[in-house]
Amino acid sequence: MRILFITPYVPSRIRVRPFQTIKELAKRHEVHVVALDESDGTSTVGLDEIRNSAADVVIVPHSKTKGLAQALVALPLPIPLSAAYCWSRQARTAVSQKISNAGFDLIHIEHLRAAHFAPSGRGVATVFDAVDCLTGLFRQMARSKKNPLARAVMRLEAAKLAYYEPRILRRFDRVVATSDSERTALMTLNPSVRVEVVPNGVDTDYFSPKAERKVPRRIIFSGKMSYSPNAQAAIWFAREVFPRVRAEWHDAEFVIAGSNPPDEVKMLSAVPGIRVTGYLEDLRPELDAASVAVAPMQTAVGIQNKVLEAMSMALPVVASSLAVRPIGRDAPGIIEANTPEEAAAALGRLFRSPEEITRLGLEGREFVKKFFSWPAAVEKLEAIYNEALARRS
């Protein structure tokens, strides 16, 4: 099968869903990639792997300044800011040239931010990976924001998405999402659209524990910190939970690992026991040295890769219900905690029992190895591709 894979960001070990999907698809199919690049210095980790796997990779530069200007222009328009941010005439031209010069069997478009790059003609089967329901995400963000201006912007974006997202879904032969909850949210917006679940996976060979010794009371939270829900979670944990932990365990540490932290997150490094790493080319050494991972998401959609990666590194994870829901309640290796008191108590129990840390970590790793592999996820995606092709024929 010849596949054109369009994404609004460079597939990488940070943008792991398209990264692993392309690598797995390329084992059996001819995959051509067109991707926007915001050139923030962190988006190309693993790009060489994609170039070595795919038949062709076209990277279209796209500056953040231009994206923000386009979003500002879109404020009074019905177009969501997230879609306007990624508009690119150069990318549209690259897609058109690709389609004109090569006979593709199928076009795969990743994320709503790239949905407008779908060709208007109906000659090629198209599959849309919505990933998550953005309308639901921005509704959550609107409720969680304390700043009145930020709350107003999130409400405006949620309203735009509630109009735009269900209409976009109709353009495609098949639509996929990362979890049952996201599937339900998308089908609530547009009941006429069939949505299938293709979960995220984890590369358990890449994310495998190596360290013989852990730092006994080191807690880690990882993720792209320029993503507002991650920054929000890091700040919440640092302010609401960590002081309770530190009061009992004076040597406790909290590591916030992820690229492009906003100033409010950077300032947390001034708090005794907290370290903000910023961008890391390789996250594994930080995960390897920690004893426990946390995923204190206050706003979240879809499967949290940070949880799967920590579990694959044999770290027990203390996580909020929002982070746990797509993986499954009572999943081995995860302790659910929603309030500051619950999170601090869970961490305290683990710190008092290193054997429990080891046991839960190993159980979690075995769980993700069994149920969250990328080959299984992409096999399901291929079946959806075949349905889209059959529908066209």
Share of the chain above pLDDT 70, in %: 97
Average pLDDT over residues 277-285: 91
Structure tokens at 76: 């009074």
- Answer whether residue 45 shows pLDDT above 80: no
- The predicted pLDDT at position 122 comes to 61
Residues of the chain with CATH 3.40.50.2000: 2-201+373-392, 218-371
pLDDT in tens, 251-265: 999 999 998 899 999
- Answer whether residue 364 shows pLDDT above 70: yes
- The predicted pLDDT at position 292 comes to 97
- The predicted pLDDT at position 164 comes to 95
- Answer whether residue 316 shows pLDDT above 90: yes
Structure tokens at 61: 């530069």
Q: Which fold has domain 2-201+373-392?
A: Rossmann fold (3.40.50)
- The predicted pLDDT at position 226 comes to 86
- Answer whether residue 42 shows pLDDT above 60: no
pLDDT in tens, 177-221: 998 889 999 999 999 999 999 999 999 999 999 877 789 999 999
Task: From residue 331, give the alpha-carbon distance in Å to each of 196, 226, 335, 355, 357.
Answer: 22, 28, 8, 19, 15
Q: Which fold has domain 218-371?
A: Rossmann fold (3.40.50)
Higher-confidence position of 43 and 174: 174
Whether residue 323 contacts residue 304, with contact meaning beta carbons closer than 8 Å, is answered with yes
pLDDT in tens, 117-154: 988 766 789 999 999 999 999 998 888 888 888 889 99
Q: Where are the alpha helices (DSSP H) in the chain?
A: 16-25, 47-53, 64-73, 81-85, 89-101, 134-144, 148-169, 180-189, 228-236, 242-248, 263-266, 284-289, 305-312, 321-324, 340-351, 354-371, 374-392
- The predicted pLDDT at position 261 comes to 93
Whether residue 21 contacts residue 374, with contact meaning beta carbons closer than 8 Å, is answered with yes
- Answer whether residue 43 shows pLDDT above 60: no
pLDDT, averaged across the chain: 91
Burial track 299-312 (b if 16+ CB lie within 10 A, e otherwise): bbbbbbbbbbbbbb
- The predicted pLDDT at position 103 comes to 84
Higher-confidence position of 300 and 359: 359
Please tell me the distance from the alpha carbon of residue 43 to that of residue 204, in angstroms, as a whole number.
22
Residues 6+ apart with CB under 8 A from 390: none
pLDDT in tens, 76-97: 999 999 999 999 999 999 999 9
- The predicted pLDDT at position 301 comes to 64
Question: For the chain, what is the radius of gyration of the CA atoms?
Answer: 21
Average pLDDT over residues 89-116: 92
Average pLDDT over residues 325-336: 87
Record the pTM. 0.84
Average pLDDT over residues 310-322: 95
